[in-house]
């Protein structure tokens, strides 16, 4: 049986696999950074309260 030419599908598959994983990693990083800023700000406000 002849081998199918499916290289483009493989590239598309791995683009999705690596792309989605990368987006998730970035989302983890961004959420961590934002929460750290929020925590610092709230802590500062709490410390200022009489």
Closest approach, Cβ 50 to other proteins, in A, equals 14
- Which helix (DSSP H) or strand (DSSP E) does residue 12 occupy? helix 7-48
Closest approach, Cβ 22 to other proteins, in A, equals 11
Kindly report each contact of residues 41-50 with a partner whose C-beta sits within 8 Å and lies 24 or more positions away, as own/partner.
Answer: none
Alpha-carbon distances, residue 1 vs 24, 35, 47 (angstroms) = 40, 56, 74
Query: Binding to other proteins (CB under 8 A): which residues in 1-50?
Result: 1, 3-7, 9-10, 12-14, 16-17, 20-21, 24, 28, 31-32, 35-36, 38-39, 42-43, 45-46
Closest approach, Cβ 32 to other proteins, in A, equals 6
């Amino acid at each position: 049986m002849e081998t199918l030419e499916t290289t483009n599908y493989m590239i598309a598959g791995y683009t999705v696999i690596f792309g989605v994983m990368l987006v998730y990693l970035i989302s983890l990083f961004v959420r961590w950074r934002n929460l750290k800023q929020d925590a610092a700000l709230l802590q500062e406000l709490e410390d200022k309260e009489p």
